Amino acid sequence: MAFRFYSHDVNGGASVSLLLLRLVMGAAFIIHGWPKIHNPLGWMSAMGGSSIPSFLQAIAAFAEFAGGIALILGLLTRLAAFGLVCEMVAALLLVHIPAGHPFVAAPGQPSFESALVYLVLAISLVVLGPGKFSLDALVFGRRPSTFGASAGYAH
């Protein structure tokens, strides 16, 4: 079976849920990524210093901002979500866990709650795809064949 950017296996209700997930998550990542793309090579040092290489910071900034736009549009959704999976895994392993942040912290204190929630949501989009209400469905969706049984004609 070939990999598809668009998953046609979900019903209308699930597609509406995936649309809502993509819109909210995409907006959140655009908002998170917007200031980072203005300083893509050093945004972590502006937050108090980091030993993470500048090129990885640039990739993370791009993944957040462009990935958020892609999620909202439902275009290359699985690829964008995979980029966010990688970024959230890196955030957990390189920042939150080494710093000893708790899962849920007191208000205003750092925690890894949001990174883990975003990770699970991004994994869901990689697995499920964007749903029917997406540009992926429009661009990559199945089109009826004009030949044989795949068009509904029996021989």
Q: What is the mean pLDDT of residues 63-82?
A: 97
Q: Is residue 52 part of a domain?
A: yes
The pLDDT of residue 154:
47
Q: Is residue 26 part of a domain?
A: yes
The pLDDT of residue 42:
73
Q: Is residue 41 part of a domain?
A: yes
Dihedral angle computed from the Cα positions of residues 33, 38, 44 and 48, in that order, rounded to the nearest 10 degrees: -120
The pLDDT of residue 62:
94
Q: Which of 6, 66, 77, 2 is nearest to 34 (CA)?
A: 66
Q: Are 67 and 29 in contact (CB under 8 A)?
A: yes
Domains: count for the chain: 1
Q: Is residue 146 part of a domain?
A: no
Amino acid at 4: R
Q: Is residue 30 part of a domain?
A: yes
Predicted confidence (pLDDT) per residue in 94-145, tens digit: 889 998 999 999 999 999 999 999 999 999 999 999 999 999 999 988 655 4
Q: Which domain holds residue 104?
A: 12-141
Q: Is residue 107 part of a domain?
A: yes
Q: Is residue 94 part of a domain?
A: yes
| pTM for the whole structure | 0.81
Q: Is residue 48 part of a domain?
A: yes
